[in-house]
Amino acid sequence: MTVLVFGTFDILHAGHIHFLQSAKKLGETLTVVVARDKTVKLLKKKQPVHTEKERVTILRELRCVDQVVLGDPKLNVYAVIKKIKPDVIALGYDQIAFTDKLQEKIKEFGLNTKIVRLKSYKSGKHKSSKILKILS
C-alpha cells in the first residue's frame, strides 16, 4: 500500500517527524510531496526558509520516507495523486490547503484512495509558525 503526504516541511521539527512516521504506519511505501517555493509563497505569504531543493534533500534522508517528489510547478496539486495513485492520503491535523476538493478529485480519477487525518503531536509546541516566531 502506498501512502501519500503533502506539505511544505520547512524547518523540519519533531511534529513533522511524528507526522511522517504516523503516515508510514498506514502502508508500506511513503511518498512525500514537497510544496514548491512559489506555492509556499502563495499560501503562506512568505518565502520558505529552505528552498524546495533543500527541503527535498533533507526529507530524503529520513528512514521512514521512501520517495520525495516536488509538487506540480503549475499548482495542479491533484496531478501527483493521479500519477501515483495512492491507497492512502494522510493529512496533517491542521492541513487545509487543497483539501476541499480532494475527495471529489479522487473520485474523478477513479481511485479508491482513503483519506486519513492524523493527530497532532504537541501542537502547542511543535508547529513551524511557532518555531519561526521564537527564532525571530
List active site positions. Answer: 44, 46
Rounded CA-CA distance 132/119 in Å is: 22
**DSSP secondary structure string for all residues of 69-113:** EEPPTTS-TTHHHHHH--SEEEE-TT--TT-TTHHHHHHHTT---
All three cell numbers of 66: 521512501
CB 18 within 8 A of CB 102: no
Helix (H, G, I), strand (E, B) or coil at 33: strand
All three cell numbers of 37: 517555493
CB 121 within 8 A of CB 18: yes
